[in-house]
C-alpha cells in the first residue's frame, strides 16, 4: 500500500499558493463564458432593427449581456412585465428589467435564475417588431407560453417571437 505522503502528485496539489491562483483564474474564465451576448442592431438607416440572437436558450444562473452594436441608433432591453406597463410575459416570480436607453456600445447585464420563458422588447422599436425571447432551462415549456393575440402588443411584435420549440432545439434563433 502506498503512503500518501510520498505521492508526488499529491505534494504538487498541496503546494498551495499557485494552485489556488490558477483555479481563481479558471473560474473567472468560466464566468465570462457563462455570459452570452445579444446584439442590438439595425441597418444604417434604421429601417430594420433587431435583437441577435432573437431567441436564446440558457441555463439557470447564466447571464445575458445586451450590447448596442448599432452605431446609429439607441435601443433598450425591456421585459414584458407590469413594472414596465406591459402584460407579464416572464415566469411567475421572475424579476422585471429595463436597460433604459443604451447608446452605441453601451451594454446591460441580467442574470436569469428562474426557469421559463422570458419575452422582452425595445421601447422605441416595439412597433417595428424588435422583440426577443429567452428560454431558461430545459423545463417542459409549453410551446405557446403566452397569448398570441393581445391587443396591447403591436402585431409586428407578436409575430416576431421565435417559437419556443425552435429555441429548445437550436439553442439560438437569429
φ/ψ of residue 118, rounded to 5:
-120, 120
- Taking the complex as a whole, the smallest distance from the CB of residue 122 to Cu ion amounts, in Å, to 3
Among 39, 49, 64, 67, binds Cu ion (CB under 5 A): 49
**Binder of Cu ion out of 39, 90, 122, 131 (CB under 5 A):** 122
Q: Is 130 a residue that touches Cu ion (CB under 5 A)?
A: yes
Grid cell in block for residue 129: 417588431
Q: Report the distance separating Cα 35 and Cα 64, nearest Å.
A: 5
Binding mask 60-79 for Cu ion (x = CB under 5 A): ---------------x----
Element (H, E) at 65: strand 62-68
Considering the complex, state which of residue 75 and residue 86 has its C-beta at the smaller distance from Cu ion.
Answer: 75
Residue 147: helix, strand or coil by DSSP? Answer: coil
Q: Using the rule CB under 5 A, give the single segment among 48-56, 61-69, 111-119, 156-164 that binds Cu ion.
A: 48-56
Segments in the chain forming alpha helices (H): 8-14, 16-33, 155-160, 164-170
Number of helices (H), then strands (E), belonging to the chain: the values are: 4, 9
Query: Which residue, 41 or 141, has its beta carbon nearer to Cu ion?
Result: 41
Q: Is 131 in the site for Cu ion (CB under 5 A)?
A: no
Select from 7-15, 129-137, 140-148, 154-162 the region that touches Cu ion (CB under 5 A): 129-137
Under the binding rule (CB under 5 A), the answer on residue 102 touching Cu ion is: no
Phi-psi region of 125 (alpha: psi -120 to 50; beta: other; left: phi over 0): alpha
Q: How far is the CB of 40 from Cu ion (least distance, A)?
A: 6
In degrees and rounded to multiples of 5, residue 132 shows phi and psi of -145, 165
Rounded distance, CA 45 to CA 52, Å?
A: 18
By CB under 5 A, what part of segment 2-41 binds Cu ion? none
State which of residues 54, 86, 125, 133 lies at the interface with Cu ion (CB under 5 A): 125
Q: What is the contact surface with Cu ion in residues (CB under 5 A)? A: 49, 75, 122, 125, 130
Amino acid at each position: 500500500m502506498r503512503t500518501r505522503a510520498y505521492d508526488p502528485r499529491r505534494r504538487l496539489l498541496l503546494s498551495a499558493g499557485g494552485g489556488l491562483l490558477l483555479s481563481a483564474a479558471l473560474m473567472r474564465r468560466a464566468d465570462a463564458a457563462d455570459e452570452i451576448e445579444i446584439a442590438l442592431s439595425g441597418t444604417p438607416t434604421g429601417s430594420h432593427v433587431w435583437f441577435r440572437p432573437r431567441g436564446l436558450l440558457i441555463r439557470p444562473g447564466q447571464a445575458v449581456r445586451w450590447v448596442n452594436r448599432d452605431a446609429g441608433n439607441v435601443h433598450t432591453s425591456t421585459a414584458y412585465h407590469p413594472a414596465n406597463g406591459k402584460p407579464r410575459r416572464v415566469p411567475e416570480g421572475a424579476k422585471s428589467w429595463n436597460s433604459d436607453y443604451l447608446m452605441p456600445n453601451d451594454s446591460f447585464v441580467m442574470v436569469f435564475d428562474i426557469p421559463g420563458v422570458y419575452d422582452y422588447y425595445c421601447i422605441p422599436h416595439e412597433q417595428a417588431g424588435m422583440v426577443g425571447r429567452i428560454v431558461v432551462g430545459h423545463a417542459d415549456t409549453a410551446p405557446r407560453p403566452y397569448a398570441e393575440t393581445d391587443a396591447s402588443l403591436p402585431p409586428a411584435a407578436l409575430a416576431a417571437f421565435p417559437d419556443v420549440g425552435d429555441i429548445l432545439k437550436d439553442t439560438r434563433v437569429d
